[in-house]
Amino acid sequence: MVTIKEIAKAVGVSSATVSRVLNYDPALSISPAKRQAIIETAEALNYETPRNRNKATSQTAPSLLTKLVIVHFLEPSDEIADPYYIGVRLGIETRCRDLRTEIVKVFHSDALPEAGLLSGASGVIVIGKHSDHEIAWLRQHARHLVFADFDPNDDALDSVFSDVELATMKILDALKAGGYSRIGFIGSHERLNDSVQRFAEKRCAAYIDWQRKNGTFEPDLLALADCSTGQSLRLETGYRLAHELLALAQRPDVIVTSNDNMAIGAYRAFQEAGLSIPKDIAVVSFNDIPVAQFLTPPLTTVRIHSEHIGETAVDLLLERLSGRSYGKQVRIATELIWRDSCRKPR
């Protein structure tokens, strides 16, 4: 059984550094190359977390899924920067390791994957948003296809995702019940089908709909980033957008960010401005990455079960390989985790 100490020795870093990387701590100061080396070394040595060591390794019909291709919408450097998407991929890989399935990973690039790579695999799992053109191409060349963390809105396709629109509505209802009135939003526009779809990102669209229904919509309370690949995942984006909201004549009393990385950037902006969280300004976010509970103050955030999304995607492939002929869409429930960055309604 491989240990963290052995991984640390192989890479040439401390055990503490390996532990923080494998626990997806984005606050760790480490080069992208070194972070990637740790993750790849852990995978190569078949490192298993204590939770996974306790899981049974025998699964039903392990020979059905002999080879899997993972097609990712992010570049490797963007995925490494965001623990949520690492969680989705590791959920897939953990389940496949139990099944002794060969895995090939294809990250985002300007070109589509090699067609023979897909057709030669038992199935393909696609992580994240893809255009209609990409989806059509993938359907043409993959034997079996599952989308993880993305719903293509096609009943014939298998997908597993969480309803972030519903989660956003629940957050806003709770904030209103907690006495907050000026609710700001930090996020991004949507980029899909080779075009920018302004205000179409699901959390952003739900925020606008809720504000309009309540008669409280103020466009100035929206701070949205460029929607290029990976941009919305960066800490510095949250930092910059938070400054935009702080520059308003009347700043928000609470801000909802579309992911925890943005929230971490916003924390820094507020603290540099001498504001106390949540006394002067509150923060709520999405994803519940491991570091969220260790921020000062701990971050209130929506827990999206990324590893379960990945595991369920593999299970959907197994069902297809076992003979299921109809499309199936699975929604994984979210959970709002209340911590000290926001006042909880009574």
With 60 as the cut, is the pLDDT of residue 59 above it? no
Its CATH class, for the domain covering 164-304, is: alpha beta
The tokens describing 76, both together, are 């490797």
The tokens describing 267, both together, are 């924390």
N- to C-terminal Cα distance for the chain? 48
**pLDDT of 31:** 81
The arithmetic mean of pLDDT across residues 163-170, rounded, is 97
With 70 as the cut, is the pLDDT of residue 62 above it? no
Task: Delimit the CATH 3.40.50.2300 region(s) of the chain.
Answer: 67-162+306-333, 164-304
Its CATH class, for the domain covering 67-162+306-333, is: alpha beta
**pLDDT of 77:** 77
Q: Identify the weakest region by mean pLDDT among 224-228, 275-279, 323-327.
A: 224-228
Report strand pairing: 300-304 vs 334-337.
antiparallel
**pLDDT of 346:** 84
pLDDT band for 194, please (50, 70, 90 cuts): confident
The arithmetic mean of pLDDT across residues 267-284, rounded, is 97
Helix (H, G, I), strand (E, B) or coil at 43: helix
CA dihedral 106, 79, 162, 204 (to 10 degrees): -120
With 70 as the cut, is the pLDDT of residue 307 above it? yes
The arithmetic mean of pLDDT across residues 92-110, rounded, is 90
3-state secondary structure 224-265: EECCCCCHHHCHHHHHHHHHHHHCCCCCCCEEEECCHHHHHH
Give the HSE-up count for residue 183: Cα atoms under 13 Å, Cβ half-sphere.
28
Mean pLDDT of the chain: 89
Report strand pairing: 334-337 vs 145-148.
unpaired
With 60 as the cut, is the pLDDT of residue 53 above it? no
CA distance 61 to 54: 20
Q: Identify the weakest region by mean pLDDT among 38-52, 70-84, 134-148, 312-326.
A: 38-52
With 90 as the cut, is the pLDDT of residue 157 above it? yes
Give the chain's largest Cα–Cα span: 63
More confident residue, 312 or 75: 312
CA distance 91 to 17: 22
Percentage of the residues of the chain whose pLDDT score is greater than 90: 66
Q: How many CB atoms lie within 10 A of CB 145?
A: 24
pLDDT band for 36, please (50, 70, 90 cuts): confident
Concatenated DSSP letters of 312-342: HHHHHHHHHHTT--S--EEE--EEEE--TTS
pLDDT digits (tens, 9 = 90+) for 243-260: 999 999 999 999 999 999
Sheet architecture: strand order including 102-106: 102-106, 67-72, 123-127, 145-148, 158-161, 329-331
pLDDT digits (tens, 9 = 90+) for 198-246: 888 999 999 999 999 999 999 999 999 976 555 555 789 999 999 999 9
| CATH dotted code for 4-57 | 1.10.260.40
**pLDDT of 6:** 84
Measured in whole angstroms, the distance separating CA 97 from the mean position of its chain's CA atoms is 22
Task: Delimit the CATH 1.10.260.40 region(s) of the chain.
Answer: 4-57
With 60 as the cut, is the pLDDT of residue 168 above it? yes
CA distance 57 to 142: 27
- The pair phi, psi for residue 81, each rounded to 5°, is -75, -10
- Residue of 184, 182, 173 whose CA lies nearest to 210: 173
Paired with 334 in beta bridges are 304
